[in-house]
Structure 1
Amino acid sequence: MAVSNVPKYHIAMFPWFAMGHMTPLLHLANEIAKRGHTITYFMPRKAQLKLQHLNLYPDLITFHTITIPHIDGLPPGTEIATEIPISLCPLLVETSDLTQDQIELAFRANKPNFVVHDNAHWMPRLAKQLGIKSICYDVVSAATLALVFVPGRNFPKDRPITEEDLSQLPPGYPSSKVVFRGHEIRPLMMITMPMGKNITFYERMVKAKKDSDAIAIRTCEELEGKLCEYMVAQYKKPVLFTGPVLSAEDMKTPLEDRWDKWLGGLNPGSVVYCSFGSEFILEKDQFEELVFGFEVTGLPFLIALKTPRGCATIEEALPEGFEERVKGRGVVYGGWVQQPLILKHPSVGCFVSHCGASSMWESLMSDCQIVLVPQLIDQVLNTRQLAEELEVAVEVKREENGWFTKESLSNAIKSVMDSDSEVGVKVKNNHAKWKEILGKPEFMSGYADRFVQNLHDLVK
């Protein structure tokens, strides 16, 4: 059956309350609505204020605001992950679980055909009771899911997880390069820590997938086909591709005037842009080492990061004399920027990122050289994929303390920005091949069409 002949469905969406999860799910909602289906998108009030402008089909996509209850340990009024340090996210997850009654009432009133949820382990049970098909949607890479979140992974519960625990590849895991190694242990502890009441992060992720009718992953067959086949074998259920689901509408909005003017005064391909996403916050000494690294490159740069811990403003965090030394060629900014448009600007030639899912796809779709500084486990595995499997990027070498020196950051940037560098030429050529594949006009639309067809196949 052609997608145009698929019956019109009503799809509910319930994401994890983090911008890096809610935004791509809304982009997917736009693609589904573009094909004539209706969506009820559940989110906190504060998220609606941030995402309203990205709703391209307000006649078909309805934002359903849910009330987030307060629990002890969270600052009053907390609704989304960007408001709190990552250490408090387990408590925010607990509040999202407490919205079940609100979701059930809405489902009974609106009667959706499907619910696409972001690892809400209780959602498949609720959906089944109401005759709704459930799809567990992951914005993280298939590499992360296949290495860590597969049934039967026996992580120790009496001690923190170590790199050695994760170096033991699950039977049949289809990659020897996309592995976790050479990083500090702290981010690993999240895997077995409580994430909601009486459930660990690992248990939550696996149960959400095992109990759903299908799993959907924000990836493409060309990049992670074998890893998704492995997921099918592990979970014994369909694994659907959504493609990168980036918003083409971002490119129709003009770049903010201040950045357009500043970048416009610099040479083509000369600027290094850096961002670590909307949630990660650096320690002050890490922040200082990072900005020193950009200074010693001698290249123009734009750094967009959240204010480091213990500082009131980004200006307060800057080393003494730094602003004067880089005046005219370097900017450090603590606010939100239009990342896709900055990456598209002809003056920007390099992107230094944490390799979160959205930044990974945006870097692949850009013409920029790619330098990676991963922080969390999924970012590490994304980095392994780009730097070692695809060879389109360079990872910054770390020290034993888990961070890097200004010299190692500067060397990584210069290695890809030097037009005569063997490394720079190799990653640029490999990147160009992947951009050509991902940038074909029918690439994104083809994945959206197939996803809608896959939904129909679940109810045939």
Structure 2
Amino acid sequence: MGGEKELRIVMFPWLAFGHFIPYLHLSNKLAEKGHKITLLLPNKARLQLESLNLHPSLITFHSITVPPLETLPYGTETTADISLDQHGELSISMDRTRPEVESFLSTHKPDLVLYDMAHWVPEIAAKVGIKSVSYNVVCAIAVSHVRPSLPLPKGTAAHVPLPLSSVPKWSLNQHGSSTPYFGEGITLLERSVISLSSADAIAIRTCREIEGVYCDRVAATFNKPVLVTSHALPDLELELSPLETRWAEWLARFEPGSVIFCCLGSQHVLDAPQLQELALGLEMTGLPFLMAVKPPVGCTSLEEVLPEGFNDRVSGRGVVHGGWVQQQQIMAHPSLGCFVTLCGSSSMWEGLVSESQLVLLPQLADQTLYAKLMADELKVGVKVEREENGWMTKRSLCEAIKSVMDEDSDISHVVRKNHAKYRSMLISPGFISGYIDNFIKDLQALVP
């Protein structure tokens, strides 16, 4: 520590595992340097995440009660309990934790509080006399698209349009016009603007070597210091559990660099026709594949929606799995050759540090921005071409996969070269640690 102040930090992420886990990864990196962290988590999430806490003497999980809503299923605590179109209602429950969060901060008086979607945290922090940091696990390119039309005073919720001219209309369904509010009387965009503009500083899980221009844009837009943490992914060998035997044994049957891994995350659900196109596209490649997807809404299993005769045709080389898988560990297996991803922020970083070729299949607005960054700017992957209405065909998926898997193709040559360059940088010794050291210095500079 070199005599620097030991920080006491409280973290309150949005009620989703896609936010809990990056917050915990950052907590582990900070605790490694001797700082104390308290994560405010719903009880079920706390139990599920305990095995990922590498420093239990320094990282404490504090349970918070998520108030029930009549419109949500009984026992709902996180986005894992509900469908995507119910996230706006869950944000009402999160906002109703405010008295409990305020009581905790008032009692414990940490040095800093990190949050993302709870836009009211800075108001509490100012009252208690602590510093607030808006920590965004989404990438800087997405944060840079949140632009207030006018400067917002603290606590003001004015209507703020989000300019997404580069994003096709079919992808604007994350919390689109059918769900205009993300909470009681507030839109997702208003919530985002207030969260960013009210903080003492903005932090982003990214690297300046990749998103420096977007970090600078955020700093200029909100006139705030922008702190950067790196991707902060855990070390595969030191911090993650080994790959499950069933997957290790299955992958070991195939040649190095030959297997396609298609994983669409735990939240997004394809409809039945698109899931069938996905399955048929993977089949058309002729390569071995593992397809991890959730069943469509209304279906109890994947088997009832897969194309007729599909399982027989791909027997021995194709597996379709409807449950959770160890994505980072699977992608590190030598047999992996291609990663087909929706391009969420965590998958983006995990794809970049892997040796697999990247095929990008974005569905939502932020994923489309990440895919643009990966394919058009960094040139490390290939986007699947879509019809004008957003439809993905089996042929377009197959062509995208083959374009990166064929080592002799011009496209493959370009993306492999660029991917190798960025991967080498991101996994280089001391890369994450250097970012975390600077991040800690920036946090310490905020604290009186």
Partner of 2:107: 109
Residue correspondences, number: 441
User: 2:370 maps to what in 1?
Assistant: 382
Identical counterparts, % of pairs:
48
- 2:403 is aligned with 1:405: no
Match of 1:140 in 2: 138
Matched, 1:436 2:433: no
In 2, the alpha carbon distance for the partners of 1:4 and 1:192 equals 50
- Residue 263 (structure 1) aligns with: 251
User: Shift of residue 403 of structure 1?
Assistant: 2.3
Q: Are residues 270 and 249 of structure 1, via their aligned partners in 2, closer, same or farther at CA, if it must alter by over 3 Å?
A: closer
The equivalent residue for 2:155 is: none
Q: Which residue of 1 aligns with 2:154?
A: none
Aligned positions of 1:209-220 closer than 5 A:
209-220=196-207
Q: How many Å separate the matches in 2 of 1:133 and 1:190?
A: 35
Aligned position for 1:55: 53
Aligned to 1:363: 351
Say which SS state the counterpart of residue 317 (structure 1) adopts: coil
Conserved 8 A contact 1:250-1:340: no
Contact 1:19–1:278 (CA under 8 A) maintained in structure 2: no
SS at match of 1:313: coil
The residue identity in structure 1 corresponding to 2:181 is P
8 Å CA contact 2:171–2:363 kept in 1: the answer is: no
Q: 2:307 aligns with which of 310, 314, 319?
A: 319
Task: Return the alpha-carbon distance in structure 1 between the equivalents of residues 435 and 22 of structure 2.
Answer: 14
| Pairing 1:235–2:222 present | yes
Match of 1:173 in 2: none
Q: Which residue number in structure 2 is paired with residue 222 of structure 1?
A: 209
Give the residue type in structure 2 aligned to 1:438: L
Aligned to 2:380: 392
Return 5+ residue gaps in structure 1 as ranges. Answer: 168-178
Q: After superposition, what is the alpha-carbon deviation per residue over 1:344-390, rounded to whole angstroms, capped at 9, x for unaligned?
A: 10000000000000000000000000000001111100000000001
Query: Match for 2:148 among 120, 138, 151?
Result: 151
Equivalence for 1:199: 186
Distance in 2 of aligned mates of 1:74 and 1:112? 33
Higher mean C-alpha displacement, 290-299 vs 184-193: 184-193
SS at match of 2:304: helix
Native 8 Å contact 1:4 1:35 kept in 2? no
1:53-132 alignment runs, 5 A limit? 53-132=51-130
How much does 1:249 deviate? 5.1
Q: Give structure 2 stretches of 5+ with no counterpart.
A: 152-158
Contact 2:115 2:133 in 1 (8 A): yes
CA contact (8 A) 2:106 2:128 kept: yes
- The 1-side partners of 2:171 and 2:102 are apart by 41
Is the alpha carbon distance of 1:250 and 1:205 closer, same or farther for their aligned partners in structure 2, counting shifts above 3 Å? farther
- Give 1:284's aligned residue: 272
Q: Which residue of 2 aligns with 1:328?
A: 316
TM-score normalised according to structure 2 size: 0.95
Note the C-alpha offset of 1:107.
Answer: 1.5
Q: CA deviation at 1:439?
A: 1.0
Aligned to 1:22: 20
Equivalent positions of 1:437-456 (< 5 A) are: 437-456=425-444
Whether contact under 8 Å (2:39, 2:59) holds in the other structure is: yes
TM-score under structure 1 length normalisation:
0.92
Aligned residues of 2:236 and 2:329 also touching (Cα < 8 A): no
Q: State how far apart, in whole Å, the 2-side matches of 1:414 and 1:249 are.
A: 28
How big is the shift at 1:250? 6.1
Matches within 5 A, 1:407-422: 407-422=395-410
Q: What is the one-letter code of the residue matched to 1:12?
A: V
Residue 195 of structure 2 corresponds to 208
Q: Which residue of 2 aligns with 1:12?
A: 10
Secondary structure at the residue paired with 2:297?
coil
Shift of 1:306: 1.2
Q: Which residue of structure 2 aligns with residue 175 of structure 1?
A: none
Structure 2: distance between partners of 1:55 and 1:454: 24
Letter in structure 2 aligned against 1:196:
G
Aligned to 2:156: none
1:280-319 CA-to-partner distances (Å, cap 9, x unmatched) read 1111111111001001110100011112222101222222
